[in-house]
Amino acid sequence: MAFKHGISRLGTHVRRVPAGSAFRGSLSLLKRRKWLFISCLFVVLLLSSLGLTFKGAVFVVALSLTAGLSTYYRRYTKLTIGFETVTFATVLTAVAYGPLIGSIVGLVSSFAAEFIPQLIDPSSFLWILSYPVVALVCSSLFESGVSLFWVGFVGSFIQNVIAEPIRIFSGDEYLRTMGVLGVTGSTVFNIILFRTLASPLYAAMG
């Protein structure tokens, strides 16, 4: 019942956003045609990988698919615990293959990660659009000599700063709770991922 109440309040919050009718119309279209949009984005991803080696293209596609499905649990829990591998995939591909590839990976996988479980809120589009920024900044930091762990930490921080304030300061208890859980969980999970898996995966991607 608590989950249903939270989702009901979330729907009320979305209906109150500025230009609500346009927002709801766009959201409805994206939900109805989500697989078409996701398929088109993956085609763009595949085309962008043509300049890479076969091994590089395999890593790009594998990391994107894994990231896109990493939030599928939300379809059943109806809430987020902050676990996602979109940041991890974006940062790794950006430092290994450049900010353009990283940006495309981030956009494709974050779109899939939001629309496959269909748990959309006002922060969703900000979260998706934060990843080109993450890719650009993290690629630059890594080239300047910052360690991969701290590059990943900065990437996680950037996406939280861009995406989460709209939920945390919304005035809605449910959205605020989701925002706090999102920031806390994503920070903890990304620290673990970048501490344990980032360096060996980066070495294998080269």
- Flag whether pLDDT at 196 surpasses 80: yes
CATH 3.30.450 describes domain 2-205 = no
pLDDT for 1: 43
Whose structure tokens read 């991607």? 205
What CA–CA distances, in Å, run from 127 to 56, 137, 190, 197, 203?
26, 16, 16, 23, 28
State the CB neighbour count (10 A cutoff) for residue 200.
Answer: 9
**Confidence class for position 76, pLDDT limits 50, 70, 90:** confident
Mean pLDDT in residue range 105-122: 82
pLDDT in tens, 163-195: 999 888 988 888 888 889 989 999 999 999 999
Task: Give the DSSP per-residue string, 48-64.
Answer: HGGGS-HHHHHHHHHHH
- Cα dihedral 171→177→183→185 (10° resolution): 180
Output the six-digit token pair for 75. Answer: 């379809």
Handedness of CA 149, 153, 155, 156 (dihedral sign): positive
pLDDT for 42: 66
Domain residue spans of the chain:
2-205
Name which of 12-26, 36-50, 90-104, 181-195 the model is least confident about: 12-26
